[in-house]
Amino acid sequence: HDFDRVWFAKFERVLDQATLGPTWLKDSRVASMVAESLHYRHSNVYRLDAFTIMSNHVHTVFKPLPTRPIDYFRVIEEVEYFSLSNIMHSLKGYTAFQANRILGREGEFWAHESYDHWIRDYPEWQRIIAYVLNNPIKAGCCARWQDWKWNYRRKIAN
């Protein structure tokens, strides 16, 4: 687990400081389409908690939802949730197709692999939300997470 965290931190620094390579998400048309796609699936296949769209990558935090409504008055042996692989396949497939259309290009848009992490408890959820929202600050794009146009955090009722 510690090795994964160290590796991920190094990988993040490389992404944040990249001056070469594709930065297609700098195009506001592409970033807007990705944001709309993330919001579109909210309440349908996942509960969207947060995201940030950077020039060359996206961070998102969501909780997959059950594939069918839960009948709380009946005993349910097992609840089936939308799978992470299906959610990511849908998101990446649709946004890659649309981004390539917007940019007038063909070919791969997203990396094959994603860095996925299961959040185990509320303190970890808070830490990861803060990490995602503060990514643009760490990369030198803004002073406050609220100032980054491509940041989103779900409002939580008090």
pLDDT in tens, 78-128: 889 999 999 999 999 999 999 999 999 999 999 887 888 889 999 999 999
pLDDT digit string (tens) for 30-70? 999 999 999 999 999 999 999 999 999 999 999 999 998 88
Structure tokens at 106: 């063909």
Q: Which CA distances in Å does 92 have to 2, 97, 109?
A: 28, 8, 8
Give Cα 76 to chain centroid, integer Å: 30
